Amino acid sequence: MGKTLAKSPLAPERFPDLPVIAGAEFASVAAGVRYAGRTDVMLARLAPGTAIAGVFTRSATRSAPVLDCQAKIGGASDAGAAIVVNSGNSNAFTGRNGVEATRAVTSAVAKMLDLPEGRVFSSSTGVIGEPLPHARITAKLDELKAGLTEAGISDAARAIMTTDTYPKGATASVDLPGGTVQIAGIAKGSGMIAPDMATMLVYIFTDAKVAQPDLQAMVSAVSDRTFNCITVDSDTSTSDTLLMAATGASGVSVGADDRAFVEALETVMLDLAQQVVRDGEGATKFVTIRVTGAASDADARTHAMSIANSPLVKTAIAGEDPNWGRIVMAIGKSGAAADRDALSIRFGDIVVAENGWVSPTYKEADGAAIMKQAEIDINVDIGLGQGKATVWTCDLTHGYISINADYRS
C-alpha cells in the first residue's frame, strides 16, 4: 500500500469523460484514514425519489458496512439518499466496534444531509481487522458537503482506489422514446477478485426513472453476466459491494424489460468488470475464456472458472507458454462433465487440440505467437451439449507475489 505501483500495461488509454447525471452530486476529500497525500473518502448525494439497488458479496464473514447496506436496500422511500465510501480500511472482522463505526459514519451523514439513516449507504475497503478510525471521516463531512458537485464523479473514482493502478469509469447513453438517459459508473478493485461477486466496489448512477424492484432485477441479472464472470485470484472479498442509483431526474421511465437500457447497463458493467481484471495485481495478459458445448451453462461456467483460476494455467500464460495440457488438466479437475476424447481447444482461431489429442494441423510456433499477445482468447468446446459461458481473467506473475507478500508492511 505504501509503494506506488506502476500503471498496469493492460490499462485503458485514459479515464473516460463521464457525463453529468442529473440528481447526483459527488465530493471527495483526504481524510487520512490510512493513506497520506491522497483522497480517501467520497460522498455521493442523490436527489429525492432516487431508487437504490445493490448486489453484495456472499462471504460468510462479510463486513459491517456490507451487512448495513443489505439491511437498508429495498426499502421504499421518496427521500434523497447518500453513499459514503472510504478506502484504506475495510472495517471487516472488527466485531461490535465495526457496527458502531459504520453507524457513526452513516448517522453523521444522515444528520448533515437531513436524510433518514436508512437512506445512507456506506462502503469501506482496505485492510481487514483493524478498527475504522471513523472520527477522521466524520471530521471531514462539512468539507465533503461543501464540495458536492455534479462534476465530481471522476475524483470520486480516485478516492476509492486501494492497490488499483488506475481509476475505473465507464458510461453509456440510451435514446428512449421518452428521451435520452445517461449511465455512469465507477469501480475499484485489483486483487482478491473472484465471483460472488468480483471483489470490488462499484457505484453506478443513472438519471432514468426506475422502480426499485425493477432496478434490483436488472442489476442482479447483469451482474451474473459481468462482475460474476471475472476472476483475478479466486479470492473473494468480505466487502464486495455494487450499488446502483436511479435518480429519475431525466423524467424518462425505464422498466426491467427495457432492452435498450439493459444492454447499455451491461456495456457499462462489463467495461468496469474488465477494467478490474486489466488492473489485476501483477497482470500482464488479459485473457478471455469461452467455453461452449458443455452439458449446461452452469457446467460451462465451472469449466471456465477452473481454467481461469488454475495457477498452472495462469503461470503458463505469464510465461507465454502455449501449454494446452494444463487447460486439459483444469477441465478434468473442475468437477463438471467432460469427455477427454470430445474436447477441443483453440487459442484464438488456431485449433490446438481435438478428439482427445493435439490437432494434426497445430504448430507450436502458432500457439506461441498467440501467447505473446497482451490479449489472449482461449476457446474450449466440451463437445457434450449446448452450455456456454465466458469469463475474463489475467495471468499470475511475479508482480502478484511482490504485491501480496507484503501488502501490510
Question: What is the footprint of a second copy within residues 180-199 (CB under 8 A)?
Answer: 191-192, 194, 196
C-alpha span between 84 and 55 (Å, rounded): 16
- 328: phi then psi, degrees, rounded to nearest 5: -60, -45
Tell whether residue 358 is a contact of a second copy (CB under 8 A). yes
Provide the minimum distance between the beta carbon of 307 and a second copy in the complex, in angstroms, as a whole number: 11
Q: Which member of 202, 229, 272, 343 binds a second copy (CB under 8 A)?
A: 343
Angle at which helix 95-113 crosses helix 64-72, to 10 degrees, equals: 50
| Strand 41-46 relative to strand 51-56, pairing | unpaired
Tell whether residue 353 is a contact of a second copy (CB under 8 A). yes
Q: Which of residues 297-336 bind a second copy (CB under 8 A)?
A: 309-312, 315-316, 318-319, 321, 323-326, 328-334, 336
Provide the minimum distance between the beta carbon of 362 and a second copy in the complex, in angstroms, as a whole number: 10
Q: Which is nearer to a second copy, 178 or 319 (CB)?
A: 319
Provide the minimum distance between the beta carbon of 112 and a second copy in the complex, in angstroms, as a whole number: 29
Q: Which member of 156, 265, 305, 338 binds a second copy (CB under 8 A)?
A: 338
Write the binding mask 263 to 302 for a second copy: x where contact by CB under 8 A, - elsewhere.
----------------------------------------
Provide the minimum distance between the beta carbon of 40 and a second copy in the complex, in angstroms, as a whole number: 19
Q: Which is nearer to a second copy, 77 or 315 (CB)?
A: 315
Q: Where are the alpha helices (DSSP H) in 185-323?
A: 212-225, 259-278, 297-309, 311-318
Q: Which member of 149, 180, 355, 373 binds a second copy (CB under 8 A)?
A: 355
Provide the minimum distance between the beta carbon of 310 and a second copy in the complex, in angstroms, as a whole number: 5
Catalytic residue (choose from 165, 199, 288, 393)? 199
Look at residues 45, 239, 81 and name the one whose alpha carbon lies nearest to residue 156: 45
Q: Which string of DSSP letters, residue by residue, matches 306-333? A: HHHH-HHHHHHHHTT---HHHHHHHHHH
C-alpha span between 222 and 229 (Å, rounded): 10
Look at residues 248, 265, 256 and name the one whose alpha carbon lies nearest to residue 50: 248
| 289, 295, 297, 302: CA torsion to nearest 10 | -50
Kindly determine how many residues on this chain lie close enough to bind a second copy according to the rule CB under 8 A: 71
Tell whether residue 374 is a contact of a second copy (CB under 8 A). no
Q: Which is nearer to a second copy, 119 or 285 (CB)?
A: 285
- 330: phi then psi, degrees, rounded to nearest 5: -65, -35
Q: Grid coordinates in use for 70?
A: 443489505
Q: Which is nearer to a second copy, 191 or 248 (CB)?
A: 191
C-alpha span between 209 and 370 (Å, rounded): 45
DSSP-assigned beta bridge partners for residue 33: none
Q: Which of residues 82-111 bind a second copy (CB under 8 A)?
A: 90, 92-98
Q: Which is nearer to a second copy, 75 or 311 (CB)?
A: 311
Q: Which is nearer to a second copy, 166 or 324 (CB)?
A: 324
Task: Compute how many other C-beta atoms are within 10 angstroms of the C-beta atom of residue 163.
Answer: 19
* Only segment of 3-11, 121-129, 219-227, 257-265 that touches a second copy (CB under 8 A): 121-129
C-alpha span between 365 and 355 (Å, rounded): 21
Provide the minimum distance between the beta carbon of 225 and a second copy in the complex, in angstroms, as a whole number: 21
Cβ-count burial 316-341 (b if 16+ within 10 Å, e if not): bbbebebbbebbbbbbeebebebeee
Provide the minimum distance between the beta carbon of 96 and a second copy in the complex, in angstroms, as a whole number: 8
Question: Is 199 among the catalytic positions?
Answer: yes
* Only segment of 60-68, 158-166, 220-228, 369-377 that touches a second copy (CB under 8 A): 60-68
Helices (H) and strands (E) in the chain, counts: 12, 15
Q: Which of residues 189-248 bind a second copy (CB under 8 A)?
A: 191-192, 194, 196, 233-238
Provide the minimum distance between the beta carbon of 95 and a second copy in the complex, in angstroms, as a whole number: 3
Q: Which residues are catalytic?
A: 199
